[in-house]
Structure 1
Amino acid sequence: MDASEHRIVEELDAPPTVPRLTGVAGRVIGWLDTLLITLATLALVGIAATVLLQIAGRVVLPSSPPWTEELSRYLFLYMVALSSGVVIRRHRNVNVELFHHWMGPRARAGYQALIGLLTGVFALIVLPYAWQYAANGVWQTSPTLKVPMLYIFFSTVVLFALVLLYSALGLVEGLLAIRRSPSQADTETP
């Protein structure tokens, strides 16, 4: 691949971002990112182990354990919920990048602030309903694991709380980047 093709691939692969928070706030968010990614990875490993146990149970044992499919589903829910905020922070969610490369640093910052605001407002509206949904699980238990469904339904609360938190973070980072002096904004790379 020549230099121009490599540059085009990098522009397509790496979405333009604004500078992240630094200092104590940046370190705390970094630790939270690491914790959430670790928990989501453990959930993914749990899914793989559960599915392998189910396959082995079908092949080797007279019958496969009935709880494996249910556990893998619940682990999947928590994997998605726990990784949702970090996906937003790293700009790895599905989006359409038709005009990002034409934007300057301040326009990218404004765009990130706008997306953070809209996503955060949506999560703020949905969060109380997610809590109501989770509260419905108090009177129910899962069919095979006999786990209170409150713990399973609570994954929606975790999801929307993290989306709200990370959207607010994107909004703050975008607004701070807009306020930077033009000389700072022009010299920074996305």
Structure 2
Amino acid sequence: MDSHYKTAEQEALEQLDPLSSVPTFQGVVGRLIGWVDTLFTTLAVLALVAIAGTVMLQIAARLFLPFSVSWTEELSRYLFIYMVALSVGVVLRQHRHVSVELFHHILGPRSRAAYQALICLLIAGFAAVVLPYAWQYAQNGTWQTSPTLRVPMLYIFFSTVVMFALLLVYGAIGFLEGLAAIFRSPERTEPEKP
């Protein structure tokens, strides 16, 4: 029953997202990438849980305390920024970003792989161009502190460095997976079915 469920899930995912049929890396490299995906997903989920806790604290303070806790809004904003920055690579790898899919379903397996390679190359190239400027932007926060929490803004602005670095790395991974899928033999181009 578990293998039938996995097969049905894979088929449904391929109908919703044709690029998910492009094979990913397997073996040691695939497991390493999977662990990194799990790490960043966990960090993003922890940031989301912290946002929920912070907002609940703010609501409880407004209802039950005679004073308002002023730092909760600022903290929830910074947590949201880091949640997005930490999850951007995994979102790119799993094809969960916003995209317009006009012709993906009519492409063959090799064309889908070539399309993925092209898109990931463009994203990685853009991230490589912007990354040095993101670092310069982060360094502007060295002399500033946040209004309520008094945290150096370097740590907040550093989220842009994290985001573009992850886009660069995950764009390169997607590009290499697309290239590998293009040059695979035709019988190995289709994803393995259990």
TM-score in terms of structure 2 length:
0.90
Q: Does the aligned pair in 2 maintain the 1:55–1:64 contact within 8 Å?
A: no
1:13 to 6, 13, 16: 16
* SS across alignment from 1:32: helix
Residues 173, 11 of structure 1: alpha-carbon distance in 2 compared, 3 angstrom cutoff = closer
Q: 5+ residue gaps in structure 2? A: 1-10
TM-score in terms of structure 1 length:
0.91
Q: 5+ residue gaps in structure 1? A: 1-7
Task: Write the letter of the residue equivalent to 1:124.
Answer: A
Q: Distance in 2 between matches of 1:176 and 1:137?
A: 41
* SS across alignment from 1:16: helix
Counterpart check, 1:164 vs 2:180: no
* SS across alignment from 1:135: helix
Task: Write the letter of the residue equivalent to 2:145.
Answer: T
Output one character per residue of 1:158-188: Cα deviation in whole Å (capped at 9) or x when no partner. Answer: 0000011000000000000001112322x43
Residues 183, 11 of structure 1: alpha-carbon distance in 2 compared, 3 angstrom cutoff = closer
Task: Write the letter of the residue equivalent to 2:186.
Answer: P
Q: Distance in 2 between matches of 1:63 and 1:14?
A: 49
Aligned residues: 184
Q: Which deviates the most, 20-29 or 84-93?
A: 20-29
| RMSD, matched Cα | 1.9
Counterpart check, 1:119 vs 2:117: no
| Aligned-pair identity (%) | 66
Runs of 4 or more, structure 1, over 6 Å off, are none
Residues 50, 76 of structure 1: alpha-carbon distance in 2 compared, 3 angstrom cutoff = same
